[in-house]
Amino acid sequence: MKLLFRFPKVMTSNIEAENVSSQEDVDKEVDVKERELIEKIKSLKKRYRVVGDTLWDIKWMLYQDMEEVSRDGVLLEKYDLLDGVYTVSIYVLEGVGYYILTEKIPSPHIMDLANIIGEVIRRTGLDVNESNLMDKIRYILDLLDLELEDEHVKYIYHHIYKLINVFQVLHPLFKDPDVEEITVPDRQFRVFVRHRRYPHLQWLTTNIEFPNKDVLNSYIQRLSLASGKSISPSNPYVEARAPDGSRLTLVYGEEVSAGPSLTVRKYPEVPWTIVKLIAADAISPEAAAYLWILHDAKGVILISGPMASGKTTLLNALLMLTDPRKKIVTLEETPELNIPHPIWQRMYTREVPFYSDLKPVTLWDLARWSLRTRGDYVVIGEARGEEVIALVQQSLFGTGALTTIHATSPQDLINRLLSPPMNLPRYWLPSIWAIVQLRPIGGWRGVTEIIEMDKEGRSVKVFERRSRPGYLEPLVDPTETYRMRLAASLLILGDRIRDEYRKRVDFLLKMLERKVMDYESLKVELAKFYAEESVIR
C-alpha cells in the first residue's frame, strides 16, 4: 500500500481545508481498492492453493534476514548483483565469513499473488521463458480480472523469474562472477559458498536454506535433468555439466550418504590467461616460458595438485599459448576446459544406466580413438586410470600430451602412475617430460615446483618456490636441462634455444607490464610474437 502524506488538522484557510478533504477522499479510494484487491487475492488463494515447501512455493525462497550478523559482524564489502536486483554483503563475525543476499520484497498479499500466478503456470503448463514472462504475467492477471500498479507487476516478475529459472533460489549465486564454489552438505540444508576475493575465509555461510530434504532432493533432480543426466535411488550420484558450464556433483537421497547434497564448481566465463596467472603470483614468467617451449616441442606435461589447487586453470592457460595453426583434441568426463582456440575438438565420455542397450564410452576408449583424430595435442582433463598409458603413448607418435592428476607431490604422482588403476609401466617414465606441482596455501593457489624426468626416468627439480610468499625461481639454467636440449633438437633451434627462452620471458613480462590479461588481446600479441620475434616458424 502506498504511504501518502497527510496534512495536519489545523486549517488556515478554506482552500487548505478543501485540499485536505480531497486528499482524504483519495486515501479512502486507495484504501477501498487495496482492500478489494486483498479480498480477491484471499479468494484466489482458496482456488489456487499452493503446496508449501515445494519447488513451486516462492515464499521459502525469500532470503533470510540474519540480524545478528548484520548487527554484530564486520562488513567487508557490499555490492550490487544483476543490475541491482540483488545486493550482496560480505560480513565476518567471530572468524566466520558470511555471504548475505538481499532483494526487494513486496507486501504479503502481493507475494501471495505471485505464488498464485506461479501455480496457474504450473497447472496450465504455460510455455514460459525469460523473453515472454512479462506478457504471460499480464495475460494471467487479465484472466484473474486483476489490475495492478506497474511496481507490483515488477515485483511479481522478479519472483516468478526466480521460480522458472533452472537454478531457482541459487540463481544469484550462479550469476555472481566472484562465487567460485557452492555447496549444500548432507547433514544440513544451509548453502555455503567460496568467494574469489575472500579465499582466506574458506566457506562463507549464506542466508539461503532449503526447508527440508524433500525439497533439496527435488532441486537436485531439477539440476540433473537440466544438465542432461538422470538421478534417482537407482542412480544416486551424478557428475554433470550445468547449463552455464559449471561442474555439478550431485547426491540424491540417503542411498550412499546421510542425505542429499550438491557441490558446484564454477568456472570463469573468460578463462584465465598465463599472464593473469603471473600477475596473481601463481607462476613466474621464467617457469611459464619454460613450459611454453616444452609445450611447443610437444612434450608430455603432467599437472599435479590436490583438490582446488588450480590444475585445470593452469592447463587451460597453457593450452591458450598453443600455436593457432595446431589442432587440440580434449577428452573429458565432465566438460571443464574452455579454450578459445580455432581448431579444437572436444570429446566426452558416456555413462549409461544398467538397463540401457547403449555402450558406455570411457576415457580409455577416447584416448585410444584420439590417435585417429590427427590432433597435434591430445589433452585429458583429468586422468584417473589406464587412459594415462594411451596418453603417454601419444608422444611416441609425435603428439603433444597434457593432463591433470590429483597428487600432493611429484613423487606421489609417480607412485600413482606406477600403481593400480593407472598401471603405467616403469620403463615409460622417461616418456614424461615435466611434472608441474601446484598447492593451495591459505587463500593462495599456485605452482610450488616443476620437475623434469631425465632419460633414465629420474626426477630432476628445475623450479622451486622455497617459501610463501616467495618467487618460483629456477634452481638450474632452464636452457641447459635435458628436456630443453631435447626441445631445441626437435624444434631445430640448437643454441638459439637460449635466445628463444629469453624472448619468451621478456614477452610475458611486457604483457604483464601492459596488463594484457584477456585472451583476445593476448592472441593478437602472440601472433605478432610468432611472426616477428620467435625463431620458431
Mean pLDDT for the stretch of residues 53-75: 93
Q: Check if the beta carbon of residue 348 is closer than 8 Å to that of residue 364.
A: no
Number of CB atoms found within 10 A of residue 486's CB = 16
Q: Which pLDDT band holds residue 443 (cuts at 50, 70, 90)?
A: confident
pLDDT value, residue 491: 93
Q: Which pLDDT band holds residue 510 (cuts at 50, 70, 90)?
A: very high
Measured distance CA(313)–CA(272) in Å, rounded: 7
pLDDT value, residue 67: 93
Mean pLDDT for the stretch of residues 106-124: 92
Q: What confidence tens digit (pLDDT) does each residue in 322-368 have?
A: 988 899 999 998 888 999 988 999 999 988 776 678 888 999 999 98
Q: Which pLDDT band holds residue 7 (cuts at 50, 70, 90)?
A: very low
Query: Which residue(s) pair with 474 in the sheet?
Result: 463
Q: Which pLDDT band holds residue 22 (cuts at 50, 70, 90)?
A: low
Q: What confidence tens digit (pLDDT) does each residue in 136-189 have?
A: 999 999 999 998 989 999 999 999 999 999 999 999 999 999 999 999 997 789
pLDDT value, residue 354: 67
Q: Which pLDDT band holds residue 436 (cuts at 50, 70, 90)?
A: very high
And the C-alpha cell for 269?
566465463
And the C-alpha cell for 523?
592472441
Give the range among 5-9, 102-106, 313-317 with minimum mean pLDDT: 5-9
pLDDT > 50? residue 3: no
DSSP secondary structure letter of residue 342: S
Q: Which pLDDT band holds residue 308 (cuts at 50, 70, 90)?
A: confident
Q: Which pLDDT band holds residue 534 (cuts at 50, 70, 90)?
A: confident
Q: Check if the beta carbon of residue 121 is closer than 8 Å to that of residue 136.
A: yes
pLDDT value, residue 11: 44
pLDDT > 90? residue 387: yes
Mean pLDDT for the stretch of residues 359-380: 92
Share of the chain above pLDDT 90, in %: 72
Q: Which pLDDT band holds residue 32 (cuts at 50, 70, 90)?
A: confident
Element (H, E) at 183: strand 179-184
Q: Which pLDDT band holds residue 1 (cuts at 50, 70, 90)?
A: very low
Q: Check if the beta carbon of residue 484 is closer than 8 Å to that of residue 290.
A: yes
pLDDT value, residue 8: 37
Q: Check if the beta carbon of residue 118 is closer than 8 Å to that of residue 161.
A: no
Query: Which residue(s) pair with 250 in the sheet?
Result: 238, 262
Q: What confidence tens digit (pLDDT) does each residue in 240-266 have?
A: 889 998 999 999 999 899 999 999 999
Write down the domain spans for the chain.
51-211, 274-533
Domain 51-211 CATH assignment equals 3.30.450.380: yes
Mean pLDDT for the stretch of residues 523-528: 90
Mean pLDDT for the stretch of residues 98-113: 92
Half-sphere exposure in the Cβ direction for 404 (13 Å, CA): 25
In CATH, the architecture of 274-533 is 3-Layer(aba) Sandwich (3.40)
Q: What confidence tens digit (pLDDT) does each residue in 458-482 have?
A: 999 999 998 887 899 999 999 999 9
pTM: 0.83
Q: Which pLDDT band holds residue 483 (cuts at 50, 70, 90)?
A: very high
pLDDT value, residue 51: 87
Element (H, E) at 459: strand 459-465
Half-sphere exposure in the Cβ direction for 361 (13 Å, CA): 14
Residue 349's SS3 state is: coil
Measured distance CA(23)–CA(29) in Å, rounded: 10
For the chain, the average pLDDT equals 90
pLDDT value, residue 30: 54
Share of the chain above pLDDT 70, in %: 94
Mean pLDDT for the stretch of residues 201-207: 95
Element (H, E) at 511: helix 497-513
pLDDT value, residue 203: 95
| Cα–Cα separations (whole angstroms), residue 422 to 329, 403, 504 | 21, 13, 35
Q: Which pLDDT band holds residue 417 (cuts at 50, 70, 90)?
A: very high
pLDDT > 60? residue 9: no
Q: Which pLDDT band holds residue 6 (cuts at 50, 70, 90)?
A: very low
Q: Check if the beta carbon of residue 212 is closer than 8 Å to that of residue 222.
A: no
**Interior angle at CA 317, CA 347 and CA 375, nearest 5:** 35
Q: Is the peptide bond before 430 cis (omega within 30 degrees of 0)?
A: no
